Amino acid sequence: MNFTSMREALTSLSRSNAGVASAVLLSMLASIALWTVFPNIDDENHLLEWLQALFLALACTVHGVRAWQETDRQSLRFLMHAGLSALLFGFLLRELDIDQFGTAPAWAQLEKALRVVELLILIRVLIFFAPRARKVFAHAGLIFSMRITILTAIGGLLMVAGWPFDKKVFHGMPDAYALLGEEVLELGAYLLLFLASLSDSSAAARISLAPRKKSA
């Protein structure tokens, strides 16, 4: 299977509610099954975290490429993809403990540099968004009815669902189960965010966010 056919298959999968739900559910169930054989896969910088980072990196890249390829930089679609790419880049840095990749000081410096880059990107997105905020909010109904937004929101809810496991809210639950619950939910969330990044956003391409020019 070449890259084009794989991309078409993934895009087709992202259009199917049953396909998306099945992919996310199967990934979570497979993780749990694998954990029963290899209980260390949910440890820091092990298999589940690497898969999470992979899906986040893919989602961030897809949104970034789609923003880059958008010909109308004043469209709502450009802002959506650029904003989501920036947001997911931040999530990716949160997931990757780059300073733990090695003992050399360069790893810690690289992590700090990337966090500065993340901050600059977010500031740039906010500067772009600010004068267009009113138009964006005026189209909130359209935005939240789009498949890309719905899947992204569900992915966000899955991330939130992992919070009680991370904070050990469920008293009496063994730490091993709490850690597994957090990692499995995050894996499903990040896979869903990746599939969401492939979803159709053509409706947003028709919305122009260009600021009104002041009359002389």
Q: Where do we find the tokens 């259009």?
A: 15
Asked if 85 and 122 touch (Cβ cutoff 8 Å), the reply is no
| DSSP run (H or E) holding 24 | helix 17-37
Give the pLDDT confidence score for residue 31 in this predicted structure. Answer: 96
Asked if 68 and 188 touch (Cβ cutoff 8 Å), the reply is no
For the stretch 155-168, pLDDT in tens is 999 999 999 998 88
Give the pLDDT confidence score for residue 169 in this predicted structure. Answer: 84
Domain locations in the chain as residue ranges? 18-205
pTM: 0.91
Give the residue among 64, 116, 111 at the shortest CA–CA distance from 88: 64
Asked if 148 and 80 touch (Cβ cutoff 8 Å), the reply is yes
Sites in the chain below the pLDDT cut of 70: 1-3, 213-216
Contacts 24+ apart (CB under 8 A), 71-74: 72/205, 72/208, 74/208, 74/209, 74/210
Give the pLDDT confidence score for residue 2 in this predicted structure. Answer: 67
